């Protein structure tokens, strides 16, 4: 949304191809940006009673490749450039190649990019041998797992449109110059990878929606509450996290603001010190809370940091441990690396986060977060289209 808005400011048209989740549809309608449904909803993939398995991934990967070839081939018919995001959007570059238009891959963190400094994250497929510590070797083995997931389907669809096979799907998707849509303070990239990264800053869509009246009343009825939310984690959310958070915060004499999210967080009783909220303007809300307890998604971390809200990050998957570590390194919060918080462990983390020192540091870092990332990216994208 943020990028599309800035592209329109420059006189360009933007079309977003994305999973047709109700939340995405609503957001794009609000921004007046056309949505082309792409693949299944994210909710249908991640919101089952258990997290997706490796076998699920092996089935989903080729289906996503097929969906991108079919959907993007039509959606990009009159386009001048394709920009793709996501964990591994295999198929997007190939549509651009067939159409003879530029392709850009943009990521929201460096965690998935090959690096000498850190190992790859977990991926379905044959695991690396125990004891292997050479990061270059580990990343080569990661590329092999990507080929096993996507290679067959990608080459089949490339052959169908007259394109040759691809040896390394991961590097083909990422290109040699990926764009990094992340703030340089929160996610420094210099020297972190051999790729020629173009760091634009985070793509932030300003949100001027007012907070709901009942939420306003709750906020004004006492001291700032602590926000607890796990966004789209659904089956990945810590077990009993609502109960654990409520009991921990009551131990500290704090009010609680639960975000329902896909995990369906709910209060454990009818006490008036706890309020449950649905989808809401986090940019406005996080400026009015004492702290934010969350899973460490790129967007939530950036929004909380920009608001100057101290954070407790309980990472679950993918890039979330990276964001947790950055929050801790910057001194703007605590990384709760144990995936199953207890009342005692969460109380200890919150005691640190709610200290004047952490709040002061969070406020100082907030002043350094850039807000022009979407504008920078939009200008670059227009220039790329014209090149």
pLDDT per residue as tens digits for the range 152-195: 999 999 999 999 999 999 999 999 999 999 999 999 999 899 89
Q: What is the 3-state secondary structure (H, E, C) of 242-259?
A: HHHHHHHHHHCCCCEEEE
- Burial (Cβ within 10 Å: 0-12, 13-18, ≥19) of residue 135: middle
pLDDT band at 31 (very low <50, low <70, confident <90, very high): confident
User: Which range, of 41-55, 158-172, 231-245, averages the lowest pLDDT?
Assistant: 41-55
295: which 2 tokens?
Answer: 């899973």
Mean pLDDT on 23-44: 91
What is the average pLDDT across 34-38?
Answer: 95
Alpha carbon separation from 1 to 8, 26, 27, 181 (Å, rounded): 11, 11, 8, 13
Distances (CA, A) of 133 to 120, 139, 146, 238: 11, 11, 20, 30
Considering Cα of 191, then 88, then 229, then 243, what sign does the dihedral take?
negative
Query: Which among 207, 204, 206 is positioned nearest to 378, based on CA atoms?
Result: 204
Which pLDDT score, from 0 to 100, does residue 52 have? 82
What integer pLDDT is reported at residue 257 of this predicted model?
98
Structure confidence at residue 194 (pLDDT): 87
> Is the CB of residue 378 less than 8 Å from the CB of residue 9?
yes
pLDDT for position 162: 98
pLDDT band (50, 70, 90) for residue 357:
very high
Residue 318 clears pLDDT 80, i.e. is over it: yes
Give the confidence band of 48 by pLDDT, cuts at 50, 70, 90.
confident
Closest listed residue to residue 180, CA positions, set 386, 385, 376, 384: 376
Q: What is the reported pLDDT for 58?
A: 87
**49 pLDDT higher than 80:** no
The mean per-residue pLDDT over the stretch 85-104 comes to 96
Residue-level pLDDT at 187: 97
57 close to 124: Cβ distance less than 8 angstroms: yes
pLDDT in tens, 282-312: 999 999 999 999 999 999 999 999 999 999 9
Which of 305 and 48 is assigned the larger pLDDT? 305
Q: What pLDDT score does 324 carry? A: 97
Length of the chain: 387
- How high does pLDDT run on average in the chain? 95
With a CB cutoff of 8 Å and minimum separation 6, the contacts of 40 are: 19, 63
| Higher pLDDT pick, 86 / 168 | 168
Q: How far is CA 349 from CA 170, 331, 354, 370, in A?
A: 37, 13, 9, 28
Domains of the chain and CATH, by start: 2-204+371-386 (3.40.50.2000), 213-366 (3.40.50.2000)
Strand partners, 104: 83
Share of the chain above pLDDT 70, in %: 100
Six-digit token pair at 46? Answer: 């991640």
Asked whether residue 19 carries a pLDDT value surpassing 80, the answer given is yes
User: Torsion over CA of 333, 336, 342 and 348, rounded to 10 degrees?
Assistant: -40
What are the E-state strand segments in 129-204?
Answer: 179-180, 198-199
Q: Cα-flanking dihedrals φ and ψ of residue 111, to 5°?
A: -55, -35
Question: H or E stretch including 276?
Answer: strand 274-277
Sorting pLDDT into bands at 50, 70 and 90, what band is 115? very high
**299 contacts 277 by C-beta, under 8 angstroms:** no
Q: What share of the chain is helix, strand, coil (3-state, %, to 5)?
A: 45, 10, 45
Q: What is the pLDDT of residue 370?
A: 94
Alpha helices in 161-281 (DSSP H): 169-174, 213-220, 241-251
Residue 57 tokens read as: 């991934």
C-alpha distances out from residue 350 to 23, 224, 253, Å: 30, 14, 11
DSSP reduced 3-state for 269: coil
pTM of the model: 0.94
């Amino acid at each position: 949304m943020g990028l599309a808005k800035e592209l329109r400011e420059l006189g360009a048209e933007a079309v977003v191809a994305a999973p047709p989740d109700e939340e995405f549809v609503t957001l794009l309608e609000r921004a007046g940006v056309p949505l082309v449904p792409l693949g299944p909803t994210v909710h249908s993939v991640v919101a089952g009673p258990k997290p997706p398995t490796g076998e699920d991934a092996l089935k989903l990967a080729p289906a996503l490749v097929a969906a991108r070839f079919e959907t993007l081939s039509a959606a990009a018919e009159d386009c001048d450039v394709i920009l793709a995001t996501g964990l591994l959007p295999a198929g997007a570059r190939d549509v651009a190649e067939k159409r003879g238009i530029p392709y850009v891959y943009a990521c929201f963190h460096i965690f998935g990019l090959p690096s000498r400094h850190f190992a790859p994250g977990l991926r379905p497929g044959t695991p690396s041998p125990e004891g292997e510590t050479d990061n270059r070797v580990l990343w080569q083995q990661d590329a092999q797992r990507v080929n096993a997931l996507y290679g067959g389907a990608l080459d089949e669809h490339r052959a169908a449109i007259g394109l040759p096979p691809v040896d390394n799907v991961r590097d083909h998707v990422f290109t040699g110059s990926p764009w990094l849509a992340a703030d340089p303070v929160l996610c420094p990239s210099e020297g972190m990878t051999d790729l020629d990264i173009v760091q634009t800053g985070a793509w932030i869509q300003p949100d001027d929606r007012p907070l709901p009246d009942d939420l306003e009343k709750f906020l004004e009825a006492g001291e700032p509450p602590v926000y607890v939310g796990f966004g789209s984690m659904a089956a990945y959310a810590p077990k009993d996290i609502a109960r654990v958070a409520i009991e921990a915060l009551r131990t500290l004499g704090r009010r609680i603001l639960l975000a329902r999210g896909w995990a369906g967080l709910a209060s454990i009783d009818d006490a008036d010190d706890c309020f449950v909220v649905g989808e809401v303007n986090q940019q406005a809300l996080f400026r009015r809370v004492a702290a934010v307890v969350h899973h460490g998604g790129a967007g939530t971390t950036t929004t909380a940091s920009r608001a100057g809200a101290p954070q407790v990050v309980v990472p679950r998957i993918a890039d979330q441990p990276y964001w947790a570590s950055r929050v801790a390194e910057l001194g703007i919060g605590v990384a709760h690396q144990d995936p199953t918080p207890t009342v005692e462990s969460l109380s200890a983390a919150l005691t640190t986060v709610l200290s004047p020192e952490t709040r002061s540091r969070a406020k100082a870092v907030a002043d350094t977060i850039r807000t022009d990332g979407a504008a920078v990216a939009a200008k670059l994208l227009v220039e790329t289209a014209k090149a």
